[in-house]
Chains A and B, each alone.
Chain A
């Protein structure tokens, strides 16, 4: 029981409109671990997360959550999508949206109990969102909304939290804040995290494992196991070098090789 991973992705292949996006992707996420899903734009990160959630049907392979296939009603997975646009006119406070995480699946009108309301307060505190808890959801900045969506997902106590590019569009300081926050809540709530990103350096201090996605295929393991020249060269199908510099990692292709699908551009990484 203790050793069953919260998530097993087993030989998963997915095509969209006849084009194969994921090709026999296999990896596990164990309880409480922080896993980074790293890949460049268009490589299939969102597709992979949506397939895990049961929103996209795979061609073959399977997804097990705590050892069993995901049932549609299960709430053992929390999800923060890549893009959520909330109209500023929507009459809903950040606090109310978090509370919806508790009971959005309930039909009928029920009053929220005092312990439930305390839970909302507690979680708003944990994600550091008290400051704007009474503001309209649609009026918050991207980084502020991110915290509210994380709180909404966490409040139903999932075993695994899937976050799709939560760090895109954030400035470097907010990136650090959100990463630290996720690290903290993952520990505090005992929730495993699978977070997609196109840049891995911000995640290096907190990542237990990495799933590196390119050309539809994935390599997974600890950062030291995966971010190596031989492993990545095999994945890319051509030679790439891995440079370590001031605690940061840089993947570069040889001159003349196409390095467009390398998830972080050298000039950006060194900047």
Chain B
């Protein structure tokens, strides 16, 4: 389990989890789950297209996810962003379907693009994944405080000269970057769960942003390590395990938050509905 191609898998998986946790924190905070779902799905079309042209799928993934991010960002200024996002998602899936039907590739390749195939990661995939991952992490670290304020109180941020629209586009680009590196590993349909489950769970356990982000990385790491081990043993797709574990953490997190609130309320001896996690 810890030799040969599995070494690559552990390394890439670790990087993917760190990026998923860091970016996912803001995905949950900003309520960007929908674009975080749409962009990887669009990226799938890019990868299918790259297959068709026999070029590196990473290029197709990159072009399509950045295109999707910029398109969603630009069109959301004019119309309802959920409608725009949904349309972008559907258009790109349709394009992906067209590429797949034109392609002579056999099915497993497509299947792995959708559901992930971390166990087939080669050492030449390592460098781009690490490089793109580093870009994501540095970008989030740079944007951290302005992004916090624009996420929580966009009007106040705007009055201070931080343009919420620009931060929205910047953040969509970060999602695109994270997508490009993670789709070949966990797949287009399931990378989303890695950004969502661990972060949403972590936000139940603490009321401090920094700790929530650290917790989100930690939970994502445990998720992917467990998922890799299980996938290795069972031959089921990694993405399946990632999704199941992510959802489980969230369930545990919600349960903890409920329990904590009830305990607080009882301790305070009143019926206020405040959630005062004090860790």
Contacts and interface: CB of A to CB of B under 8 A. Distances in A.
Interface of A: 53, 55, 72-75, 77, 79-81, 84, 86-93, 96-97, 100, 103-109, 132, 134-137, 139-140, 149, 152-153, 162
Given A81-B156, A104-B157, A96 B276 contact: no
Contact of A109 (B141, B274, B278): B141
A73 B157 CA distance: 11
Contacts of A104: 145-146, 148-149, 157, 160, 162
Contact of A55 (B29, B159, B206, B209): B159
A100 to B, nearest CB: 5
A97 B152 contact: yes
A107 B145 contact: yes
Interface string B153-184: 10111111110000000000000000000000
A80 B159 CA distance: 9
B23 to A, nearest CB: 16
B149 A136 contact: no
Contacts of B127: none
Interface of B: 29, 31, 141-146, 148-149, 152-153, 155-162, 202-204, 206-209, 211-212, 273-278
Contacts of A92: 148, 152, 207-209
A103 B276 contact: no
Q: Is the interface of B mostly helix, strand, loop or mixed?
A: helix
Given A73-B161, A91-B206, A136-B275, A84 B142 contact: no
- List the 7 shortest-distance A-B pairs measured between CB atoms, nearest first: A79-B159, A104-B149, A91-B212, A81-B155, A139-B274, A72-B161, A135-B276
A91 B152 contact: no
A137 B273 CA distance: 13
Contacts of A107: 142-143, 145-146
A108 B274 contact: no
B144 A108 contact: yes
Contacts of A77: 159
A55 B207 CA distance: 31
Given A79-B159, A88-B275, A105 B206 contact: no
B160 A139 contact: no
19 contacts: A53-B159, A80-B156, A81-B155, A89-B204, A90-B203, A91-B212, A92-B152, A93-B208, A100-B148, A104-B162, A105-B160, A105-B161, A106-B145, A132-B276, A135-B275, A135-B276, A139-B273, A139-B275, A152-B156
Contacts of B273: 139
A96 B155 contact: no
A72 to B, nearest CB: 4
B145 A103 contact: yes
Contact of B208 (A72, A73, A96, A162): A96
Contacts of A132: 274, 276
B153 A86 contact: yes
Most buried by B among A55, A79, A86: A79
Given A84-B155, A105-B162, A90 B145 contact: no
A96 to B, nearest CB: 7
Contacts of A80: 156
Given A96-B208, A132-B276, 5 more contacts: A91-B209, A132-B274, A136-B275, A139-B275, A153-B156
